[in-house]
Chains A and B, each alone.
Chain A
Amino acid sequence: MARQSKGRRKLDIVKITKESNLLVTFSKRRYGVFKKASELATLCGAEIAIIVFSPSMKVFSFGHPSVETVIDRFFSGNSTQTSGVLQLAKIHRNARVRDLNLQLTQVTTQLDEEKKRGEELDQGNKAGDGYRWWESPVEELDLPKLEHLKASFEMLRENVTKRVEELLIQTTNHTQFYNPNSAPVNEALPTDPNNDVFDESLVYNLGFQNGNGFF
């Protein structure tokens, strides 16, 4: 796959000439600035306001505790109000922010793990050496190989179907497994071996035709 972008490179801090690049840069860097501001507020308890105009003259702003309060403080010569109600509001807000930061950390950790797992899986999937030709993309295979592969796949699919049936039968047997001598306390479990729930047609509806793989 040819590289679309040039990746990380040293950038001269002058206005970007190409408009598409400029818009992308604006979008990414604006987000980055907000992220840094958010971190500064969390880590050091700073109060911050950032206001940014976009190339199309829309305005983006970030503020902690809020853009308004910081602007007010800036204009009012900086007296921080310490009324009881505001303090309480502040405490609640800080608690919520703390929770959100925790949540964010959790999700990003999971994301990193999954990404790492993805890379490991890629390693395993490399159709290395030309040995495992059947793992190569279909475009690289000639007709005999394709026919051969098709047959193998069809065989495998049959086995999958068989195995699904096996599992369904096992499950049916399990639910029939209760003591027939115990007094029925309430409506007994259905024991009809022809229970509709395990209808065989279910086997063929399990996404084979629906194309419902991977949710």
Chain B
Amino acid sequence: MTRKKVKLAYITNDSARKATYKKRKKGLMKKVSELSTLCGIDACAIIYSPYDSQPEVWPSPLGVQRVLAQFRNMPEMDQSKKMVNQESFLRQRITKANEQLKKQRKENREKEMTQVMFQGLIGKSLNSLNMMDLNDLGWLIDQNLKEIHKRVETLNKEANNSQVVAAAATYGAGPSVEVKISPEQAERQAFEVNIDAMQRQQWLMDWINPQEPMGFGGDEVNNLPFGDANHNALWSSAFFP
């Protein structure tokens, strides 16, 4: 394996070119041989170098003739259907690479906007975003809301099926972690969450507790976003104009 990347252009230095030719020709022959054995197929290679008028071949001059005869026996169309030269092969590779690039960019964009979204969730200002960012962000939020909605429905269905009567008002007391909730209670929770904005703001504000250390004490629910005073300030500028 080479240590440095080789530029894809004719090697002008004569000795370097010759050395490269020897190595790579050998490697290419080996690869063709492996391909033939591993897959149980016929193949041949013919290589003319600038250094020799006789070609180097695989598997052997006779073997090459045999394969060429087989090749020539095929209908013209079959011969040329999968035939490429440098130009067409490179074009194919460029096309494929462009597709991969487009896909990777799209993935990266989504990852990036996901970060932006979570930051926005905890109060970071949206002022640095342009229209396109906001558009993508909105779409991403909607996707997440869809997922949440689906999950909530699933959980509610499970609660219906399991017929577990929810015990005491565990929700009222202060949420602890895994609790089976009856459909009525689930609905009530949903309702309570959807009430008017003022109360909602108050509810969210309750989670802000600047005195509380940013640790994980026991109550893991109690740490949506706002750990410290700085976030608090950002939050207020974004949500309390």
Contact = CB atoms under 8 A, between A and B. Distances in A.
Closest 5 CB pairs of A and B: A213-B139, A100-B90, A121-B111, A47-B48, A44-B21
A64 B86 contact: yes
Contact of A143 (B38, B44, B137, B155): B155
Interface in A130-173: 130-135, 138-139, 141-157, 159-161, 163-164, 167
A91 interface: no
Nearest to A35: B93
Among B46, B190, B223, the one with the most A-chain Cβ atoms within 10 Å of its Cβ is B46
A176 interface: no
A46 to B, nearest CB: 5
B139 A121 contact: no
Contacts of B93: 35, 104
Given A118-B104, A130-B220, A150 B193 contact: yes
Contacts of A114: 101, 104-105, 108
B25 interface: yes
B150 to A, nearest CB: 8
A51 interface: yes
B211 interface: no
Given A34-B89, A159-B238, A153 B9 contact: no
B210 interface: no
A contact face: mostly helix, strand, loop, or mixed: helix
Contacts of A47: 47-48
Interface residues of B, number: 120
Given A65-B86, A160-B126, 11 more contacts: A13-B37, A40-B28, A45-B17, A107-B101, A110-B101, A133-B221, A142-B155, A149-B224, A153-B148, A213-B135, A215-B106
B216 A130 contact: yes
Interface in B170-227: 171, 175, 177-179, 181, 186, 189-190, 193-194, 200, 203-204, 216, 220-221, 223-225
Contacts of B118: 132, 134-135
A52 B35 contact: yes
B96 to A, nearest CB: 9
Given A15-B40, A44-B11, A163-B129, A111 B108 contact: no
Interface of A: 11, 13-16, 22, 25-26, 29-30, 32-55, 58-67, 70-71, 73-75, 78, 93, 96-98, 100-105, 107-108, 110-111, 114-115, 117-118, 121-122, 124-125, 130-135, 138-139, 141-157, 159-161, 163-164, 167, 206-208, 211-215
B142 interface: yes
8 contacts: A15-B39, A42-B8, A50-B46, A62-B85, A125-B111, A134-B121, A142-B179, A157-B141
A151 B200 CA distance: 8
A152 B39 contact: no
A26 B35 contact: yes
Contact of B94 (A67, A104, A117, A155): A104
B53 interface: yes
B157 interface: no
A22 B109 contact: no
B55 A78 contact: yes
Contacts of A151: 193-194, 200, 203-204
A161 B138 contact: yes
A29 B135 contact: no
A104 B110 contact: no
Contacts of A142: 155, 177-179
Contacts of A43: 6, 8-11, 17, 20-21, 24
Given A121-B115, A206-B138, A144 B189 contact: yes
